[in-house]
């Protein structure tokens, strides 16, 4: 049987399970599958192509003979085990933020910088979900007219915080609708000093706070975009916000270009670009929305308009399924570049 | 009994009822109260200070002896009846967009341009909800360092679309939680060619589409901000988005100033400004959110940070109750300027 020995670390999590689904959908050539997780989840079983797999505890010895190791068990696990997996000869594709800004580690979005994948030294980082969908939309515009400045505000789904947060949003919503005080225990992030209501509310914090009073998600969007697009000096600022949506991140992206690019031309370019579906028909009230992105691999772009407040300005509205293109699908696409 | 004869047109609507509540809370001197509405709502009764008032059909003859007439029954009613009310000697305070950009009509936010109220010729316009809260936050920064450019993205509550939309969000949410297909009939706006799900979704359209593929809410924010702040050439762009929240609009506001203004100084200035509460304590996970704004008259500002992508850049997060400061409270404050 030809194909690769694939391991998934964090196989019982939301992203891990979706990686399995995407591997199956895209018919990635697998000859052996090793499912790994923390000791807490070890022993549970997961289905793949009709077969039942037992999940084993991930240890440094788990990666013997593995060709591709997908990691989605958090930064701590990646730091501990990814180097061991790479040393065993596996190509690690890491969903955590542990190695993303490491100059030795390529940070790859296949539509933007596929060539960087080949430069890996055993570990390739998968970018942050909100970064991936934005750079897919920005790159064709940059190629056409040169990016000068980006101002982005996000509308992010709770699934970015895992299974627990989806359940949390549902539980809180039921409580509010029934006139009960909602029990808050998922947002802004696991282990936070305090929790905020997310049902019928909006929370302007994702991940912990970092330098300049930016939250870490905002700094990820800034720094990862610069690295992926190979624009180390790109002028970019971000405000990242959690909204009561289960799946699908939305982004209001304001772009200043170096050269003229009328909206009609921008639309034409985006329509022809890999991984993008343009949904932009105001007269029919058609534009991207999270509900339409669920389960899809494409990045949806609409509300493409001139911004007259600046020379060569454009506004875009960018939506994608944060668990698929924002995590699982992008990871599998990276593996496909090397398979 | 001293005081004014006050009329409310649209007394049974969400804003009309809130105007009554605000008049009572602020002890506006009323000697006579006339409650008016369309023929559809005429005949119903509304309570004020323990007394029951019968709602009459609004006609051009309804305004005899009226000192202040608050209009919140839509642009069509204002166009038809506000001039008659003004001719009868009433000062009209109009919540619709009918007269906002009329050069003969002042557009007033008491914290920003109270002096304009005195220049009225019978009609004063109350600005759009999303504009009001933004200019309250922008004006002190403009006074301190000069506004150069504004990029705003909004997160707007469904109550901006009235009682029906609040009920719609609740009904849709229940359906989704129970696994049923939600019945969609309120968003993006009444009478739309098609409706979108708003429960657990985000809809990047508010009001109908207008020039340059901007929706009307976006053009209102642009044009009304210029008029209120008396900055006819202000560089400003907007993206307005409906989120599944009942009360409270949030705004991610990116500001470019003419002169340096470090975030610490901006905070200090905003803290001292009328109508603003600064909630900005990242280490305690404290920032403005719609749930905390409900029923409040202040504009809440937080996430005040440097934007290093441009000289003299700042990011702000601005939240207010769209039915109170965004409509009812601002209208009553305008009347107080003239009372």
Are residues B287 and A246, on separate chains, in Cβ contact within 8 Å? no
Are residues B285 and A192, on separate chains, in Cβ contact within 8 Å? yes
Are residues B237 and A309, on separate chains, in Cβ contact within 8 Å? yes
Contacts of A184 in chain B (CB under 8 A): none
To the nearest whole angstrom, how far is the Cα of B188 from the nearest Cα of chain A? 9
**What is the Cβ-side half-sphere exposure of residue A324, based on CA atoms within 13 angstroms?**
20
Interface check A236 vs B, CB under 8 A = yes
Count of CB pairs separated by less than 8 Å, A with B: 174
- Angstrom CA distances, A325 to A72, A132, B48, stand at 14, 7, 55
**Short-list B145, B133, B128, CA closest to B255:** B145
To the nearest whole angstrom, how far is the Cα of B284 from the nearest Cα of chain A? 8
Nearest CA in chain B to A310: B235
Contacts of B235 in chain A (CB under 8 A): 309-310
Full DSSP string of B152-188 = EEEEB-GGGG-HHHHHHHHHHHHHHHTTPPPPP-SSS
Are residues B290 and A204, on separate chains, in Cβ contact within 8 Å? no
Give pLDDT, residue A1: 57
Are residues A197 and B284, on separate chains, in Cβ contact within 8 Å? no
Are residues A203 and B170, on separate chains, in Cβ contact within 8 Å? no
Give pLDDT, residue B2: 84
Interface check B175 vs A, CB under 8 A = no
Give pLDDT, residue A312: 98
Which residues of B are known catalytic residues? 129, 249
Q: Which of A169, A174, A237 sits opposite B309 (nearest CB)?
A: A237
Contacts of B262 in chain A (CB under 8 A): none
Nearest CA in chain B to A240: B252
Interface check B80 vs A, CB under 8 A = no
Interface check B208 vs A, CB under 8 A = no
pLDDT digits (tens, 9 = 90+) for B270-318: 999 999 999 999 999 999 999 999 999 999 999 999 999 999 999 999 9
Domains in chain A with CATH codes: 4-126+328-338 (3.40.50.720), 131-322 (3.30.360.10)
Coil, strand or helix: which one is A192? Answer: coil
Give pLDDT, residue B241: 98
pLDDT exceeds cutoff 80 at A152:
yes
Return d(Cα A112, Cα A95) in angstroms, integer: 17
Give pLDDT, residue A2: 83
Give pLDDT, residue B1: 57
Are residues B194 and A285, on separate chains, in Cβ contact within 8 Å? yes
Phi, psi values for residue B284, rounded to 5°:
-100, 10
pLDDT exceeds cutoff 60 at A65:
yes
Give pLDDT, residue A95: 97
To the nearest whole angstrom, how far is the Cα of A236 from the nearest Cα of chain B? 5
Nearest CA in chain B to A306: B212
Q: How many helices and strands, by DSSP H and E, does chain B display?
A: 9, 14
Give pLDDT, residue A188: 96
Nearest CA in chain B to A313: B237
To the nearest whole angstrom, how far is the Cα of B226 from the nearest Cα of chain A? 12
Return d(Cα A284, Cα A280) in angstroms, integer: 9
Interface check A244 vs B, CB under 8 A = yes
Are residues A196 and B285, on separate chains, in Cβ contact within 8 Å? yes
**Short-list A8, A2, A29, CA closest to A20:** A8
Interface check B231 vs A, CB under 8 A = no
Give pLDDT, residue A277: 98
Give pLDDT, residue A329: 98
pLDDT digits (tens, 9 = 90+) for A164-174: 999 999 999 99
**Short-list A152, A133, A319, CA closest to A234:** A152
Contacts of A197 in chain B (CB under 8 A): 289, 291
Interface check B140 vs A, CB under 8 A = no
**Short-list A97, A43, A316, CA closest to A227:** A97
**pTM across the whole model:** 0.97
The residues in B 288-327 lying below 8 A from A, measured between CB atoms, are: 288-291, 302-310, 313, 315, 317
Q: Using the structure block, give the residue that is written with the tokens 């270009």.
A: A257
Residue A249 annotated to the active site: yes
pLDDT exceeds cutoff 60 at A121:
yes
Q: Where are the alpha helices (DSSP H) in chain B?
A: 14-25, 75-87, 114-117, 129-145, 163-177, 216-228, 263-271, 290-293, 329-338
Query: In angstroms, how far is the first alpha carbon of chain B from the final one?
Result: 15
Give pLDDT, residue A247: 97
Which of A142, A196, A249, A312 is the catalytic position?
A: A249
**Residue B278: strand pairing partners:** B301
Spell out, as residue ranges, where chain B has pLDDT lower than 70. 1
Residues with Cβ < 8 Å from B226, sequence gap 6 or more?
A: B232, B233, B234, B236
Q: Taking a C-beta distance cutoff of 8 angstroms, is the pair B246, B159 a contact?
A: yes
Do the bridges between strand B56-57 and strand B30-37 make them parallel or antiparallel, or are there none, so unpaired? Answer: parallel
To the nearest whole angstrom, how far is the Cα of A331 from the nearest Cα of chain B? 26
Coil, strand or helix: which one is B40? Answer: coil
Q: Which of B153, B307, B309 sits opposite A252 (nearest CB)?
A: B153
Are residues A263 and B213, on separate chains, in Cβ contact within 8 Å? yes
Length of chain B, in residues = 339
For residues A21-26, give the mean pLDDT: 97
Contacts of A231 in chain B (CB under 8 A): none
To the nearest whole angstrom, how far is the Cα of A71 from the nearest Cα of chain B? 29
pLDDT digits (tens, 9 = 90+) for A195-233: 999 999 999 999 999 999 999 999 999 999 999 999 999
């Amino acid at each position: 049987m030809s194909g690769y020995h694939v391991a998934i670390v964090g196989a019982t999590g939301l992203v891990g399970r979706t990686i399995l689904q995407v591997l199956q959908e895209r018919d990635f050539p697998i000859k052996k599958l090793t499912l790994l997780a923390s000791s807490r989840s070890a022993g549970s079983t997961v289905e793949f192509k009709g077969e039942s797999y037992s999940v084993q505890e991930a240890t440094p010895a788990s990666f013997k003979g593995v060709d591709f190791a997908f990691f989605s068990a958090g930064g701590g696990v990646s730091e501990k085990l990814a180097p061991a997996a790479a040393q065993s000869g596996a190509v690690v594709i890491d969903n955590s933020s542990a190695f993303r800004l490491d100059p030795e580690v390529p940070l790859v979005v296949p539509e933007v910088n596929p060539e960087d994948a080949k430069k890996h030294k055993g570990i390739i980082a998968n970018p942050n979900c909100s970064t991936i969908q934005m750079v897919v939309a920005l790159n064709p515009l940059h190629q056409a007219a040169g990016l000068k400045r980006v101002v982005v505000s996000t509308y992010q789904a709770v699934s970015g915080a895992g299974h627990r947060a989806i359940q949390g949003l549902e539980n809180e919503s039921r409580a509010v609708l029934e006139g009960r005080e909602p029990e808050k225990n998922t947002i802004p992030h696991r282990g936070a000093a305090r929790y905020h209501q997310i049902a019928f509310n909006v929370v302007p914090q994702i991940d912990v706070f970092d330098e300049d009073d930016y939250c870490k998600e905002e700094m990820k969007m800034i720094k990862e975009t610069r690295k992926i697009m190979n624009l180390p000096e790109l002028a970019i600022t971000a405000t990242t916000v959690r909204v009561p949506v289960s799946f699908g991140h939305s982004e209001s992206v304001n772009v200043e270009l170096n050269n003229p690019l009328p909206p009609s031309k921008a639309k034409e370019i985006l329509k022809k670009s890999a991984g993008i579906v343009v949904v932009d028909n105001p007269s029919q009230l058609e534009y991207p929305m999270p509900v339409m992105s669920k389960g899809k691999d494409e990045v949806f772009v609409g509300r493409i308009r001139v911004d007259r407040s600046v020379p060569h300005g454009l506004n875009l509205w960018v939506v994608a399924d944060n668990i698929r293109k924002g995590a699982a699908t992008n990871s599998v696409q990276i593996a496909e570049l090397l398979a």
